[in-house]
Amino acid sequence: MTRPPDRTTTLTVQPRTTGETMEPVTVQQTADADLASALGVANVEAAAERIAGAVARTPLEACPRLSADTGAQIYLKREDLQTVRSYKIRGAYNVMAQLSDEELAKGVVAASAGNHAQGVAYACRSMKVHGRIYVPTTTPKQKRDRIRWHGGEFVELLAVGDTYDAAAAAAQADVMRSGATWIHAFDDVRTAAGQGTIVREIVDQLGTVPDYVIAPVGGGGCLAGVAGYLRAISDEVTIVGVEPTGAVSLAAALATGGPYTLDTIDPFVDGAAVKRIGGLGYRVMAGMGASVSEHPVLTDIGVTSGVEVKPAGPVSLPRGAAHITHVDEGAICSAMLGLYQNEGIIAEPAGALSVTGLSELDIPAGATVVCLVSGGNNDVSRYGEIIERSLVHQGLKHYFLVHFPQEPGALRRFLDEVLGPDDDITLFEYVKRNNRETGAALVGVQLGEPAGLAGLMDRMSHSRLNCERLEPGTPAYDYLT
């Protein structure tokens, strides 16, 4: 298979001056009173018929390992095996299949962190429609390559800003300027209805409605479609949305009573790194009375909406509840590696959100739980960072500044006096300074087990060497991880 040439254009978008406004681009919105119908059985069934020729009916697989870990019956909905290795094609194709000939002739515009863009690109090539797709400059190369591959000559790829929100602003300006149709990644009921076809398949494959469905949260379109369809067929299914700890835009919206723009986010989970949740996802989950897990961001911005904030740790939910939780990026990395090493599943960070979220739930024994593995577009060049973050999260990887005397045998002393039998040096950076009595070395140590840190620190304190631990959260530590 020949890779298409790199045709990504990188743009610099000037910020709007104070007082300058931008009119919203029209997407198909629905009044709160009509949301249940828009995301209900009839519309999701219609979406399933429209997209049948373009999407795969992905497997629903039992996961014995996770079932043993939780005591529940865990199933994985394998959207990583979808046509574009992500569920996003469902919503994108459903929207484009409903456009008029006149709208298609004007072309389409989309903004995406990568997966929605692939769905739009696939649809553009299938329908022979021209499209312009805006992605953040942080979008992994693997996703950019796949966008170009799926779209071919029908798609122009443009990179702008370092977040989805910046790319979306550029796309919105394009739509206003060109008159093209915006294929929104999440804030359109047609997109959400397309994503709702996931749970239509789940119920059909399982033969019943599961007790729990756990879905990732980025912009909220997938969760809106999943929750809307599920609630239309059952009041007893528990619906859980999982955000990365570094981008809790839905929890912030539920806490403040409407979509809220976060000051900063961690872009690591690129498929879910959204500063401001879509209005649709917020309205659906607020309408269901969703609770949220506590988070420092909620303390900072203040909880003004009356939403129930549950304490950190595994939460027990009543039957039929809706809840939004969050998981640490390091835990996501551990879940990704677990899926790869045990089930042979290549999940991207956002694709592993739902599986990671199992650790935040107190699930009754024997309950039937479906986790949506939402995507598998992961760049192999990221695995070094993924392993590093996982080790740090597990308490196995630590960094130190060790001040060695400038004399022979100093390193041997460190090995003999400080390192334990199961400890391993993974990083050692040292520059000899002839005009100083000591020289600092940056040392990374991987422990055999997390409990080994106490012994290591004790041996360091009794050593003749001056050892200083780099604490997590400091700038130096963040640079290393």
CB 180 within 8 A of CB 109: yes
Determine the pLDDT at residue 338.
98
Residue 192: what residue type?
A
| Residue 23 covered by a domain | no
379 and 418 housed in the same domain? no
357 and 468 housed in the same domain? no
List pLDDT tens digits, range 243-276.
999 999 999 999 999 999 999 999 999 999 999 9
| Residue 95 covered by a domain | no
353 and 273 housed in the same domain? yes
Determine the pLDDT at residue 388.
93
Determine the pLDDT at residue 27.
55
List pLDDT tens digits, range 435-447.
667 888 899 999 9
Determine the pLDDT at residue 430.
83
CATH of the domain at 255: 3.40.50.1100
59 and 202 housed in the same domain? yes
Residue 404 banded pLDDT, cuts 50, 70, 90? confident
148, with CB counted inside 10 A (0-12, 13-18, 19+), is buried
> Which pairing describes strands 309-310 and 291-293: parallel, antiparallel, or unpaired?
parallel
Identify the domain boundary among 387, 410, 435: 387
| Residue 176 covered by a domain | no
316 and 458 housed in the same domain? no
Chain centre distance of CA 79: 14
| Residue 304 covered by a domain | yes
Q: Which tokens belong to 329?
A: 């990026």
CB 213 within 8 A of CB 237: yes
The helix/strand/coil state of 113 is coil
DSSP readout, 105-120? HH-EEEE-SSHHHHHH
> At residue 104, does pLDDT exceed 80?
yes
416 and 310 housed in the same domain? no
Domain region containing 441: 395-480
For residues 20 and 128, which has the higher predicted lDDT (pLDDT)?
A: 128
Cα–Cα distance between 322 and 358 in angstroms, integer?
15
Cα–Cα distance between 48 and 193 in angstroms, integer?
9
> At residue 16, does pLDDT exceed 60?
no
| Residue 81 covered by a domain | yes
Number of structural domains the chain divides into: 2
250 and 340 housed in the same domain? yes
Determine the pLDDT at residue 28.
61
375 and 406 housed in the same domain? no
**Summary mean pLDDT of the chain:** 91
> At residue 30, does pLDDT exceed 90?
no
| Residue 416 covered by a domain | yes
Helices (H) and strands (E) in the chain, counts: 19, 17
Looking at the chain, the whole-number percentage of residues with pLDDT higher than 90 is 79
List pLDDT tens digits, range 284-296.
999 999 999 999 9
What pairs with residue 368 in β-bridges? 73
Looking at the chain, the whole-number percentage of residues with pLDDT higher than 70 is 92
| Residue 209 covered by a domain | yes
255 and 374 housed in the same domain? yes
List pLDDT tens digits, range 35-58.
888 999 999 999 999 999 999 999
Identify the domain boundary among 367, 387, 407: 387
285 and 313 housed in the same domain? yes
Residue 2 banded pLDDT, cuts 50, 70, 90? very low
Determine the pLDDT at residue 147.
95
Determine the pLDDT at residue 411.
86
409 and 377 housed in the same domain? no
| Residue 356 covered by a domain | yes
Compute φ and ψ for 458, nearest 5 degrees. -65, -45
262 and 355 housed in the same domain? yes
Residue 67 banded pLDDT, cuts 50, 70, 90? very high
Does the global pTM surpass 0.85? yes
What value does the mean pLDDT take over residues 209-233?
Answer: 98
For residues 277 and 11, which has the higher predicted lDDT (pLDDT)?
A: 277
Phi-psi group of 420: left, alpha or beta (phi > 0 → left; psi -120 to 50 → alpha; rest → beta): beta
Determine the pLDDT at residue 18.
33
Identify the domain boundary among 387, 407, 433: 387
For residues 306 and 27, which has the higher predicted lDDT (pLDDT)?
A: 306
CATH of the domain at 435: 3.30.70.260
> At residue 6, does pLDDT exceed 80?
no
Compute φ and ψ for 460, nearest 5 degrees. -65, -40
What pairs with residue 475 in β-bridges? none
